[in-house]
Amino acid sequence: MENAYGKVWLIGAGPGDLELLTLKAVRVLASADVLIVDALVDPEIASFAPRARVVTTGKRAGCRSAPQDFIQRLMRRYARQGKTVARVKGGDPLMFGRAGEEIAYLFDNGIEVEVVNGVTSALAAAASLTVSLTHRDFGASGVTFVTAHRQDHSAPDWATLAAAGTTLAIYMGLGRACEVADGLLAALPASTPAAVVACASTRAERRLVTTLGQLADDCRAAKMPAPALILVGAALESAVGDSLPAARAVA
C-alpha cells in the first residue's frame, strides 16, 4: 500500500528580518497546511502561509518551552494525517536548531523531510557590523561556529578553539560571557577584537563593539539582551578601529 503520509519541511526563517526569507521558503510556506513556529520567529511569517494552521512552540532562553519530544510527535501526527507541515526555525535549521534529531525521528517514522536553508545569525551579525568573517589581511581563513550551551552543560575547549586562528561565532554565549572570555584569553590577547550583536536584523537590534578583555564587563554594563551572537577574532579589526579603543556601544 502506498504511503499516504504528508511531508515535513524544516524551514530556516533567518535571524528575524522577514525580507531575508528565501524565495523557496516563501513558496513552501504558501503550500503548508500546518505551521509549527519557534518563538524567535517573527509571527508575521504566518502571512506567507494563509491556509495553514499555526502552532507556536516557543523556545526562549530562560523561559519554559515545549519539550523537543512533544514537537517531534506533533510533526509526526500532522504528517500522518497527510498534511504538509512547515517546521519553522529561527536562523538556519542545520545550525544549532536540533534538525539532526528531528530528521532522524521523522525518517524513523517513515515521514519524508526536506530542508530549506535560512540565514544564520552569525552572518546577519557580521552584515550588521559591516565586517567579513574571513579576511586575508588578518589571517582569518575560516570561521568556527560553536555553541556555549552544551546539552551536558560542559564548556567547549575554548583554548583549542582560540588557537585555531579562525573567527569564532559563538551562539548562546551571552549568559556565559565571562566564562567564554576567560577560556579564550588562555590563548588570545586581551586586545583581540570582539563584538556582540543582539536581535540581529530586527528593529530591536543592538550592537556592542569591544575587545576580548572587556567583553564580559561591557556585556554587563550594556545590559545586552538575548538572543545575542558573540564574534571574536582579528577579522573584526575594522569594526573596532585600528587603535582598539575602549568599548563603544552602537545603537
Q: Which of 7, 42, 59, 75 is catalytic?
A: 59
User: What are the grid coordinates assigned to 122, written together?
Assistant: 552569525
Which residues, 6+ apart, have CB-to-CB distance to 105 below 8 Å?
A: 72, 75, 76
Let me know the angle formed at the C-alpha of 132 by 40 and 120, rounded to the nearest 5 degrees: 20
3-state secondary structure of 223: coil
Nearest to 173 by CA among 192, 191, 156: 156
Q: Which of 7, 83, 92, 172 is catalytic?
A: 172
Residue 27 backbone dihedrals phi, psi, to 5 degrees: -65, -45
| Cell 550592537, located at residue | 207
Active site residue 172: yes
Active site residue 38: yes
Among the residues of the chain, which ranges form H helices?
23-31, 68-80, 99-108, 121-129, 158-163, 177-184, 215-222, 237-240
Which residues, 6+ apart, have CB-to-CB distance to 65 below 8 Å?
A: 39, 57, 58, 59
In the sheet with 206-211, reading across from the earlier edge strand, the strands are: 143-147, 167-171, 228-232, 193-198, 206-211, 248-250
Q: Which of 38, 42, 92, 218 is catalytic?
A: 38
List active site positions. 38, 59, 172
